[in-house]
Chains A and B, each alone.
Chain A
Amino acid sequence: MAKGIMYIDGQRVPFDGEPNVLSVIRKAGIEMPTFCYYSDLSVYGACRMCVVEDERGKIDTSCSMQPRDGLKIRTNTARLLKHRRMILELMLASHNCNCAICEKSGSCHLQELALQFGVRRVRFADNREVGAFDDSSPAVVRDPSKCILCGDCVRVCEESIGMGIIDFAKRGYNMQVMPAFGRKLSETNCISCGQCSAVCPTGAITVYNQIGPAWRAIHDPSKRVVVQIAPAVRVAVGEAFGLGQGANVLYQLVSALKCMGVDEVYDTIFGADLTTIEESNEFLQRVKNGGPFPMFTSCCPAWVKYLENENPKYLRNISTCKSPMEMFGALVKQKYKEKDAEDGRTTFHIALMPCTAKKMEAARPQFKDENGNPDVDLVLTTQEVIDMIKESGIQLGEMEYESPDLPFGLGSGSAMIYGTTGGVAEAVARHCLPDKSKNTLRELEFSPLRGEDSIREATLQVGDLEVRIAVVHGLINAQKLLKEIEEGRAMYHLIEVMTCVGGCVGGAGQPYGRKAIKDQRREGLYQADRSAPFKRAEYNPGATSLLESMDEHTKHHLLHVSYLDN
C-alpha cells in the first residue's frame, strides 16, 4: 500500500493506503462532490464532478487518480468550479426537473449539488427520447426521465448483488439505462432487493411508495391497524431527526406511531425469537437425519427469490421457517380473528422494514390466507416511516418513551442482531450451544460470525458434530460460495445469507447513508443486544409459552412455508 505526503490546496496531507486521491481529499476535510463514486463499487469516472487540477493545469478525476508522494493538486480553482457548474447544467438539461413533486425531492443529490453550485438557469433544450415509466415491480419504481447515466444502479446490481438486471443500452445521445430489451422489471429476474434505488442519486429509481394506503388504513375507523417494527428500523429512523447515527429510538418511535393513530405497536424481535427456536430445531433435526446440508437461512426474501429465479435446485436447502416478519404476520392475523368478529373491525397489519424486498415477500401467494388476504397487508420502509412522521409534524426527539405492546412486544438480544450480517447465525448458535453461560456469549462475540468480511466461517461443537457455519452478505458472494460448494471446494452445515452488504442495516429501505453510518447502525443493534434483559430466544417467556401451546399442525401452518410447491 502506498504511503506518503500529498499537497491538497496547499495543505500537507499524509496518505496511507487510500485507494484514490478522492479518499485522501475527503480525509483532509474537503467534501468533494460526486455522483458515480461509491467506495465499495468499481471506479467509473463518469460524472466528472470530482475533477482536480495539478500544478501544470492538467485536469483529471480524483476518483480514478492514484495517490503519489509529492503530488500537488487543487480542488477549487476557477476552471474547476466552471467545469462543475457546466456539468450540472448539462445534467439538468437532460433531466426532468419537476422537482417539487418528485419522490426524491429533498434527498436528491442532483438537486443538492445544483443548489450548492448555484446553477440557476439551463441554456439547453431536452430533446431526448425517454424510456417508459415502470412501476411494475413491487419494490421500486423507475422513471427514466430523471436518469443522469451515472451508472451506480448498473454497477451495484452487477458487482454487489450479482444479478445484472439493468445496464446501459444504445450509445451516445440515445444512451439509456434499462433492463434487456427495454422490458419491465416485473418481466426480468429482479429479486426486489432495491439496492439500485439506494444508490440512485436522483429520482430515476425510487422505492415503491405506499404511504397513501398506510394513511388510508390508519384513518379508516373500521380498521384496526397493528404495526410491527423490525430491528434495523429503530437504529436508522433517528438519523432523520438529528437524534444521532445508530441511536436506538424504538420507544420514541412507538410513541410517534400511536400519536399518528396506530392501534397496536409490536416488535418484530418477538417473531425473530420464534424463528431462532424453530430454525434451530429444524437444524438439529437435520443434524440427526444427516441433511440436507447446507441449510440456508430464509429471512432474506431477496435471497429466496434469487434461488427461485436462478438456482431452484437449492430450494430444498432453505429452512422451512418463515421470515420473522411473516411468522409475525400470521400470528397477528390469528390473534385478532376473534376480536375482529366481535367488534366488526378488520385487522390491517403494517410491517416497518429496512427492506424493499419485504414488499415483494408480503405479496407472495404463500403468505395469503384462503380468501387471498395477505398476512402482512402493507410493508413500509424506514424512509417511508420517516416521511410519515415528518408529515405529521412530530418531533421524534420530543416524544415520550413508550414500550411496544404486549404480548408481542418483547424479544431477546439475539433477535435484535438479526438486523446485521451474522446475526441470525449467532442467534441460532446461542440457542444450539449447550453451554448457557456468559462465556459462550463472549466467545461468539469474538468469533468470525461477527465482522465485515463478505464471507466468514466459524466452526462450533454441537454434540458430536463439528458444525461448520458460513455467513455471507452481498448476494454476489453467496453466488461465489454456491459455486465453491458445487465444485466441492467448500462444505458447510449452515449458511446465513443476506442480499444487502452489511445485512438489513444496509437495506434499500433505509435512509441514504455511506458505509460509516451503516457501521454505526450495526453498533446500535449490538448495543441493544447488550442491554437486553435476556440474550437467548429460549428465554423469551412469551415465545416459549406460545410455542408450547401450539400443536405440530398449527406450528407448521403459522410458522413454516415451502417455496417448492409453486
Chain B
Amino acid sequence: MSNGISMERVDQIIDSYGSKRHHLIAIMQDIQAEYKYLSPEVLERIAEKLHIGVAKVYSVATFYENFSLEAKGKYIIKVCDGTACHVRKSQPIYNAIREYLNLEGKQKTSANGLFTLETVACLGACGLAPVVTINDQVHSKMTPESMIDLLKQLEKEDAANE
C-alpha cells in the first residue's frame, strides 16, 4: 500500500493487458481512473512489469496533460474556460475558488486534501455557461458567489459524513 493505492490492484490491471508494453497508455489510464493519479511507485511498478525504463514511463506520463502525478483531492473541480464560458466570466469564478481554498503558485489541491482545482478547455455545454463540474457532476450558470456557497455546502456534507 502506498497513499491508498493497492499494488495488487495495480498488478491486476497491468496483467489484464498481458503486461504488453504497447498497452502502456491504456494501463496508466485505467490506474488513474481508479486512483485519480499515478504515484512514483505506480510508475516504477509499470516499468518493471513491462520491462521498459522508468524514465520512458515518466516521459509518457508527463507528455499527456491528462495524467496526473500528484494526489488529488476528494472533490475535483473543473472550471470550464472554453470560449463561451470565458466570455461569460469563468475567470472570476476560478479566481474566487483559488482565493477561498488559499491556493498559491502552481498548487492545485487544497491543504486539507479536500478539493483539487483544474480548468478544462470546453465541456460542450456552452448553453449553460459558465459551467463547473465537481466530480463529473455539472453545475451550470455559476457565479463566484454561488460557487463559494457550493464549496461551503460540500465542506459541511463532508464534515457530517466523517
Contact = CB atoms under 8 A, between A and B. Distances in A.
B113 interface: no
A181 B56 contact: no
A97 interface: no
Interface in A124-180: 158, 163-171, 178-180
Interface in A156-215: 158, 163-171, 178-181, 188
Give the bracket for the number of chain B residues in contact with chain A. Answer: 10 to 19
A309 to B, nearest CB: 12
Contacts of B59: 167-169
A180 B55 contact: yes
8 contacts: A164-B52, A165-B53, A166-B55, A167-B56, A178-B55, A180-B40, A180-B44, A181-B43
A169 B58 contact: yes
Main secondary structure of the interface of B (DSSP, over half): helix
A203 to B, nearest CB: 21
B54 interface: yes
Interface in B40-75: 40, 43-44, 47, 52-59, 62-63
Contact of A158 (B47, B54, B56, B62): B56
A167 B63 contact: no
A180 B52 contact: no
Nearest to B43: A180
Interface of B: 40, 43-44, 47, 52-59, 62-63
List of 8 A-B pairs having minimum Cβ-Cβ separation, nearest first:
A164-B53, A167-B55, A180-B58, A167-B59, A180-B54, A180-B55, A169-B62, A170-B62
A442 to B, nearest CB: 43
B61 to A, nearest CB: 9
B53 A171 contact: no
A168 B63 CA distance: 9
A165 B55 contact: yes
A163 B63 CA distance: 21
Contacts of B47: 180
B63 A171 contact: yes
A271 B47 CA distance: 40
Interface in A514-562: none
B63 A179 contact: no
A167 B40 contact: no
Contacts of A179: 55
Contacts of A178: 55
B63 A170 contact: yes
A181 B53 contact: no
A170 B59 CA distance: 7
Given A165-B55, A167-B58, A180-B55, 17 more contacts: A158-B56, A163-B53, A164-B53, A165-B53, A167-B56, A168-B59, A169-B55, A169-B58, A169-B59, A169-B62, A170-B62, A178-B55, A180-B47, A180-B53, A180-B54, A181-B58, A188-B55
Interface in A208-247: none
Contacts of B62: 169-171
B45 to A, nearest CB: 13
Contacts of B55: 164-167, 169, 178-180, 188
**Most central of A167, A178, A188 by chain B CB within 10 Å:** A167
Contacts of A171: 62-63
Contacts of B54: 164, 180
Nearest to B63: A171
A180 B54 CA distance: 6
A165 B55 CA distance: 6
B93 to A, nearest CB: 27
A158 B53 contact: yes
A169 B58 CA distance: 7
Contacts of A168: 59, 63
Nearest to B47: A180
A562 to B, nearest CB: 27
Contacts of A158: 53, 56
Contacts of B57: 180
Contacts of A166: 55
A168 B53 CA distance: 12
Nearest to B57: A180
A168 B62 CA distance: 9
A295 to B, nearest CB: 26
B29 to A, nearest CB: 17
A166 B55 CA distance: 6
A181 B39 CA distance: 10
A188 B55 CA distance: 10
Contacts of A169: 55, 58-59, 62
**Most central of B40, B44, B54, B57 by chain A CB within 10 Å:** B54
**Most central of A164, A166, A167, A180 by chain B CB within 10 Å:** A180
Contact of B40 (A163, A164, A181): A181
Contacts of A164: 52-56
B53 to A, nearest CB: 2
B85 to A, nearest CB: 24
Nearest to B60: A167
A190 to B, nearest CB: 10
A168 B43 CA distance: 15
Contacts of A170: 62-63
Contacts of A163: 53
